[in-house]
Structure 1
Amino acid sequence: MTPAALADLVRSSAVAVLSERGLDHSVLPETVTIERPRNPEHGDYATNVAMQVAKRVGLKPRELAEALAKALSDADEVAAAEVAGPGFLNLRLAADAQGAQVRQALEAGAAYGTGDALAGTKINLEFVSANPTGPLHLGATRWAAVGDALGRVLSAQGAEVTREYYFNDAGAQIDRFVNSLIAAAKGEPAPEDGYAGGYITDIAAEVIRQEPSALSMPDDERAETFRRIGVQLMFDEIKSSLHAFGTDFDVFFHEDSLHASGAVRHAVERLKEQGNLYESDGAWWMRTTDQGDDKDRVVIKSDGDPAYIAGDIAYLMNKRERGFDLCIYMLGADHHGYIGRLKATAVALGEDPAVVEILIGQMVNLVSDGKPVRMSKRAGTVITMEDLVDAVGVDAARYELNRYSVDSTIDIDLDLLRKHSNENPVYYVQYAHARLASLQRNAAELGLSADTDADLSLLTHPREGDLIRTIGEYPTVLRKAAELREPHRVARYLESLASAYHKFYDAARVLPQGDEDATPLTFARLELCKAAQQVFANGLGLLGVSAPERM
């Protein structure tokens, strides 16, 4: 029995108890809170529902808890229900109910933990979207890991997710990139406001290889040649790095297309017609302060050119026209101002601001030998995705970046992530899966095949109970991770599952030794181990991390 199923049982029992007394059961929460007590001696689960609602119906909390305990004790799934303190209710599951949780995980297989909370919701998830002016830095690498994992988590709750990369191929940064390439091709230093690093030299050389006469072209033609070839080369490299990192996109949306197609002009005219822009000092403004921005923003500058936010307006309009119910933007630490700006854009377009969600990610730092790592071998001034992957590998990088809430700055200890020990979180989790795979291989060598009819009610050891209840928490963890847009909950859960499994393995022998015969308990424990292995594979898959069978 999962915590969610137990919550439903507690609520239905509470409805019955209150109805028998002629009391209003509408005071009950839609979802009853079920938690695991810190002290296992208090039971498998606990709920405070009696304390939440008793006073609203004129009862003492303990009085309601005792009535509810009696009702629940009559349920087949509950072995015992006891009242504690002023009205807490501690519950112990029947052995059959615990075993049913194992069976459920096994029968669901790769689908175990998935749900339909977001079924029918069409989500545009935009992340990374780094300018094609250099290799992906650590901030973009964090979004590549977290954004991809979030997309998987949302999909696991039934959402239709489109992963989108907004390709910033317009603006002053591209001009500086092009000027840097031209300088490198000429053998000159990078412009004062330009880009430096080995990658600039490499790309400039490739432009010349493809267009040998590029440097002798007139200035405008030369700049356009370096722009056309150089930006594409850089973006191809970014795509290749992302793919190698396990992150692929459904859509690469070009910012320049919004201007070339007239979408920006159309969006601005629409807002003017609706009275959602105002004119001041020869420019057109949007009241972004109404949505928490620190100042109103210029949409059309006094010279008639669109400001950057004009593209944002057209882009959101485009997303909504494509039928997305929810547009999630994953932005860097220096983009807090975009929260009010994008919310205001939605309102100006006549949308509910809730159609826009903005996640702000904080900085990532690398540490080695106790000291910050600051210089890249190739990019020169920043640490890149390539640097991190070279140092620890894709799995360790993705897992570590997904272990923390995105609103926290993180320090990645490269020395720790290289260790093959339980101190290394990704190793700890992957080793648990590999250990389970090894167990199944050893069982096969002993001629012990799966027994889908194993008596799972025999799983009564305390460590078995801990492992079963941890397995049972996975659907709730996954639902919460999707609801709060927090894939780090999956990583932390996997670590708790690994802890529960290692403790179980150390306390409860699974396979017979020597001349011992397999017993019904042997087969029950093998089924429990298969269920745990399945959950590890499912959770690691959501993080885009491999589940190795050998380590």
Structure 2
Amino acid sequence: MRVTPEELSAAVTAVLAEAVEAGELSVELPETVVVERPKSREHGDWATTVALQLAKQAGMPPRELAELLAARLRERDGIAAVDVAGPGFVNITLDAAAAGELARTIVEAGEAFGQSEALAGRTVNLEYVSANPTGPLHIGHTRWAALGDAVARLLRAAGAELTTEYYINDAGNQMGVFADSVISRMHGEDVPEGGYPGEYVVELAEEVVAARPDVVEMAREQARPIVRELAYEAQLGRIKDTLERFGVHFDVFFSEQSLHSEGKVAAAVDTLRAQGHIEDRDGAVWLRTSDFGDDKDRVLFKADGDATYFAADAAYYLSKRERGFTEKIYLLGADHHGYVARLKAIAACAGDDPEHHIEVLIGQLMSVKGAKLSKRAGNIIELDDLIDWLGADALRYTLARYPADSPIDVDPDLLRSKTNDNPVFYVQYAHARACNAAANAAAAGVDRSGFDAALLTHQTEEELLSQLGRFPSIVASAAELREPHRVARHLESLAAAYHGWYAACRMAPSVGRDGVADPVTDLNRTRLWLNDATAQVLRNGLHLLGVSAPEKM
């Protein structure tokens, strides 16, 4: 019997089913049984409270039910001992061979270890970043770029069918102001009041003129749509390049303008009217979002016939639904708290369940000590500059290791340091150390031709195996809760366990004073399996955070 938490959970579930079939117990079997590490290792390797949860349904005291399960669990291969503690806790101790078998399981699974079907069958659209295409990505977008991509990787690892999406705000007044700013720079003039003043606008003007030299001679009204489109495409290209540098990839870039040009905004109003939530009032078209928790009703079309931003929001939500996404996740910045109620109200007005079909996550701001305003943009801190200064790995790991709703003040000196105080260095160094240790073992003649799990009995090996075994459940819970920081914090615990094991246990044979090495044994070989399993889990975890796993540092 192997002993990932999932396999042990399945074993407990099987024991419950056997007891029911034997007439010893009458309960409805749970879909899964939770097994967790006890607070004290003296209480065993794993523990479950399933007896406490099912006792009332079974009509027996929790401890009596726990004893019934314990008796059956003791008969299963790979379990050394089962004890009942307190009111009905079931504490399980595995035999050394069963515990150590995990090392081989991980190595054989490779990149797939940690992946699951926990969210299989769920079709999800994840939208994040979605910055205006009128300027560079900046520090305000950095956190959601890192977190959004990590959440996407977790959802896919948990089996969800996922599409990542960037909503391009390419409609509205800001696009006209953007075009006017570029035209002004083309003619060597200051940008109009409220325009975009950065040096990047001068660069965009130069690109537009290079592509269409004739635009300089055109009347401004004639030039405006041409400049708008060319500058927009150029700036969007720069945004994509920055995201690529940051390791962030989107499946879809969705144009807000397309909602208007393809008649989807008008169609959305018709759909919502059919649902019975549209009201014509004072010459305008309103959506009664206050029926579903919003603080007031929202205007879709103003009295002059112009659509509002909210109308596009409603059309965009319905577009996601029409494209087959049963779950829509929005990752929004700290200044978007007011959007939560209105977006959920749109879902309710459309006939969806706002508790199931839409999820809105709000992230807090980040700051970086000593960060300088961009010379090109003038009034912002560009993401490109942060990448050049701190590195994509350091930024992404740091932003992933804190809950989204907690503000972050990044210490650049720490992020750039090569010390154990720097969390990303600490985890990456553990991976590099494991790779180097494997190379040294190979040079000493150690390979993976032998494996005896029962030999992994050192205290540090038990702790290391414990941390490795928790990885799949950590990934599954991080995906379900949209909390990448759970993975980051676990990797740090795993790195600590590995460093402790590395200091205490040798993989390569000892060399005597005469310079002759001891023979290679199965203990050496089995420890190489454990070493390589640790490297694999560190690599898998870092990948989920969008961070590299260097083999040398």
TM-score of the pair, normalised by structure 1: 0.94
> What is the aligned counterpart of 1:362 among 364, 367, 371?
364
* Larger displacement relative to structure 2 (79-88 or 358-367): 79-88
> Distance in 2 between the 1:14 and 1:227 partners?
66
The structure-2 alpha-carbon separation of the partners of 1:355 and 1:54, relative to structure 1 and needing over 3 Å to count, comes to: closer
| 2:406 match | 408
**1:421-441 deviation digits (Å, cap 9, x = unpaired):** 111111111111111110111
Report SS of the residue matched to 2:108.
Answer: helix
The structure-2 alpha-carbon separation of the partners of 1:322 and 1:58, relative to structure 1 and needing over 3 Å to count, comes to: closer
Report SS of the residue matched to 1:181.
Answer: helix
Report how far residue 413 of structure 1 moved. Answer: 1.1
Report how far residue 273 of structure 1 moved. Answer: 4.0
Does residue 112 (structure 1) correspond to residue 109 (structure 2)? The answer is no
The structure-2 alpha-carbon separation of the partners of 1:122 and 1:30, relative to structure 1 and needing over 3 Å to count, comes to: closer
Asked whether the equivalents of residues 19 and 25 of structure 1 are also in contact (C-alpha less than 8 Å), the reply is no
Gaps of 5+ in 2: 512-516
Amino acid in structure 2 at the alignment position of 1:138? I
Gaps of 5+ in 1: none
Does residue 471 (structure 1) correspond to residue 480 (structure 2)? The answer is no
Q: What pairs with 1:40-55 in structure 2 (closer than 5 Å)?
A: 40-55=41-56
| 2:245 match | 244
| 2:437 match | 439
Report SS of the residue matched to 1:164.
Answer: strand
| 2:12 match | 10
Report how far residue 459 of structure 1 moved. Answer: 0.7
> Distance in 2 between the 1:243 and 1:437 partners?
27
> Distance in 2 between the 1:176 and 1:538 partners?
45
Does residue 394 (structure 1) correspond to residue 396 (structure 2)? The answer is no
> What is the aligned counterpart of 2:457 among 456, 460, 464?
460
| 1:376 match | 374
* Larger displacement relative to structure 2 (47-56 or 325-334): 47-56
Amino acid in structure 1 at the alignment position of 2:352? E
**1:368-422 deviation digits (Å, cap 9, x = unpaired):** 4xxxx36233322222211210111111111112112222221111111101111
The structure-2 alpha-carbon separation of the partners of 1:412 and 1:193, relative to structure 1 and needing over 3 Å to count, comes to: same
| 1:66 match | 67
Amino acid in structure 2 at the alignment position of 1:468? L
| 2:99 match | 98
| 1:159 match | 160
Asked whether the equivalents of residues 374 and 380 of structure 2 are also in contact (C-alpha less than 8 Å), the reply is yes
Does residue 505 (structure 1) correspond to residue 502 (structure 2)? The answer is yes
| 2:39 match | 38
| 1:529 match | 531
> Distance in 1 between the 2:289 and 2:167 partners?
22
- Seq. identity, %: 51
Asked whether the equivalents of residues 446 and 508 of structure 2 are also in contact (C-alpha less than 8 Å), the reply is no
- Supply the RMSD in Å over aligned alpha carbons: 2.0
Q: What pairs with 1:305-324 in structure 2 (closer than 5 Å)?
A: 305-324=306-325
**1:484-515 deviation digits (Å, cap 9, x = unpaired):** 12222222221111111111111222211212
Amino acid in structure 2 at the alignment position of 1:516? D
| 1:81 match | 82
Report how far residue 531 of structure 1 moved. Answer: 0.9
Q: What pairs with 1:117-516 in structure 2 (closer than 5 Å)?
A: 117-353=118-354, 354-368=356-370, 373=371, 375-451=373-449, 453-514=450-511, 515-516=517-518
> Distance in 1 between the 2:119 and 2:160 partners?
5
**1:212-241 deviation digits (Å, cap 9, x = unpaired):** 454442221232233122211111110111
Asked whether the equivalents of residues 377 and 387 of structure 1 are also in contact (C-alpha less than 8 Å), the reply is no
> Distance in 2 between the 1:22 and 1:511 partners?
52
Report SS of the residue matched to 1:6.
Answer: helix
Report how far residue 163 of structure 1 moved. Answer: 1.7
> Distance in 2 between the 1:156 and 1:503 partners?
29
> Distance in 2 between the 1:441 and 1:517 partners?
18
* Larger displacement relative to structure 2 (323-332 or 390-399): 323-332
Asked whether the equivalents of residues 114 and 475 of structure 2 are also in contact (C-alpha less than 8 Å), the reply is yes
**1:246-280 deviation digits (Å, cap 9, x = unpaired):** 11222111111111111212222332344321011
Report how far residue 44 of structure 1 moved. Answer: 1.2
Amino acid in structure 2 at the alignment position of 1:495? E
Report how far residue 20 of structure 1 moved. Answer: 5.4
Asked whether the equivalents of residues 365 and 408 of structure 2 are also in contact (C-alpha less than 8 Å), the reply is yes
> Distance in 1 between the 2:16 and 2:262 partners?
60
> Distance in 2 between the 1:176 and 1:148 partners?
31
> Distance in 2 between the 1:38 and 1:162 partners?
39
Asked whether the equivalents of residues 123 and 324 of structure 2 are also in contact (C-alpha less than 8 Å), the reply is yes
Asked whether the equivalents of residues 271 and 349 of structure 1 are also in contact (C-alpha less than 8 Å), the reply is yes
Report how far residue 450 of structure 1 moved. Answer: 1.9
Tell me the number of residue pairs that the alignment of Structure 1 and Structure 2 aligns: 545
TM-score of the pair, normalised by structure 2: 0.93
Amino acid in structure 1 at the alignment position of 2:497? A
Asked whether the equivalents of residues 294 and 337 of structure 1 are also in contact (C-alpha less than 8 Å), the reply is no
> Distance in 2 between the 1:104 and 1:42 partners?
25
